[in-house]
Amino acid sequence: MGATIGHEVMHGFDNQGRSFDAFGNVVDWWDNATSAKFTDKANCYVDQYTAQGIDGMLTLGENIADNVGFKLTYGAYKRLLKRRGGSAEPALPTFEKYSPEQMFFIASSHEWCNNGLNEGDINDPHPPPDTRLRMIARNSKHFGKAFNCEKTSPMNPEKKCSIW
Residues serving a catalytic function are 8, 66
Angular region, 99: left φ>0, alpha ψ -120 to 50, beta rest: beta
Q: Is the dihedral of CA 41, 47, 50, 56 positive or negative?
A: positive
Residue type, 7: H
Q: Are 145 and 78 in contact (CB under 8 A)?
A: no
What is the SS3 assignment for 16? coil
- Give the C-alpha separation, 164 to 22, whole Å: 20
